[in-house]
């Protein structure tokens, strides 16, 4: 990050709902300066480079987000990414790019922080779920979003399910019991062995229920985001922290003190 006390920020996807909210939050935040609003058709690399941005925040669509991150790195800036649709392959390519760029830069390495969700309630729900997973025989995830969302299941739900699956594996648990033989399409997506159900309904913003069950008991962890303003504290935290974390960081929980 620059030695300047002010962090210069570019927002990619600035005309979108999350992008516009991010622009407003950056403009109001102490120690941050909005230096570029970039949208479809803009040259992301040139926009980041010419504006002198230290950090670029990407809230675009899955089809272009990886390309944008590579352009941001080539422009010499850190990236904070809220767009979903990432997989092992795309994350791996970013890691390789970071290793190459940071080997050339030396002691001031670039960082990329990809967060499936910036809502503090969502991050805490995912963290609590990973801790609870080892104690329950059954686990499923339900995510509920507005009908304009283009991907399903959501990145948050995939991240949650993957963390639950890892905790179950560490605890030596087998698959959740399920006698289904027909109609598997009604059982939701399979994310590392955890069933994930996606609801798309007018009036919703972003919501998640994580369901755990044992014989005679059930634990439900639920978080609700009613307004996109709830994501802004997490976005601003990521913008401030990414410069001190060279390489790839996945999940906002990694910059929160949740030990």
The Cβ of residue 6 has, within 10 Å, a number of other Cβ atoms equal to 12
Pairing of strands 55-58, 111-114: unpaired
**Which residues neighbour 96 within 8 Å (Cβ) at sequence distance 6 or greater?**
none
Question: Measured between alpha carbons, how far is 201 from 91 in angstroms, rounded to an integer?
Answer: 30
Sign of CA dihedral 123, 127, 128, 133: positive
**Which residues are the active-site residues?**
145, 149
- Cα separation, 170 vs 196, in Å, equals 20
Task: Provide the β-strand partners of residue 114.
Answer: 81, 250
DSSP 15-47: TSHHHHHHHHHHHHSTTEEEEEEE-TTS-HHHH
CB 231 within 8 A of CB 252: no
């Amino acid at each position: 990050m620059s030695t300047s006390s002010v962090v210069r920020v570019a927002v990619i996807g600035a005309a979108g709902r999350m992008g516009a909210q991010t622009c407003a939050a950056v403009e109001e935040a102490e120690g941050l300066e909005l230096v570029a609003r970039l949208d479809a058709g803009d040259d992301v690399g040139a926009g980041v480079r010419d504006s002198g941005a230290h950090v670029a925040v990407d809230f675009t669509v899955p089809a272009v987000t990886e390309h944008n991150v590579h352009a941001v790195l080539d422009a010499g800036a850190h990236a904070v990414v809220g767009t979903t649709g990432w997989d092992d392959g795309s994350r791996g390519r970013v890691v390789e790019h970071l290793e190459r760029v940071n080997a050339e830069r030396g002691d001031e390495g670039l960082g990329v922080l990809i967060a499936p969700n910036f809502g503090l309630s969502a991050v805490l729900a995912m963290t609590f779920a990973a801790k609870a997973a080892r104690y329950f025989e059954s686990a499923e995830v339900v995510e509920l979003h507005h009908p304009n969302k283009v991907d399903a299941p959501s990145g948050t739900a995939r991240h949650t399910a993957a963390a639950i699956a890892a905790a179950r594996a560490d605890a030596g648990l087998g698959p959740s019991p399920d006698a289904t033989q027909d109609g598997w399409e009604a059982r939701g997506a399979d994310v590392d062995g955890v069933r994930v159900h996606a609801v798309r309904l007018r009036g919703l913003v972003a919501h998640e229920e994580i369901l755990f069950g044992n014989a005679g008991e059930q634990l439900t962890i639920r978080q609700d985001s009613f307004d996109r303003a709830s994501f802004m504290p997490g976005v601003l935290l990521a913008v401030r922290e990414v410069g001190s974390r060279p390489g790839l960081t996945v999940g906002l929980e990694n910059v929160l003190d949740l030990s």
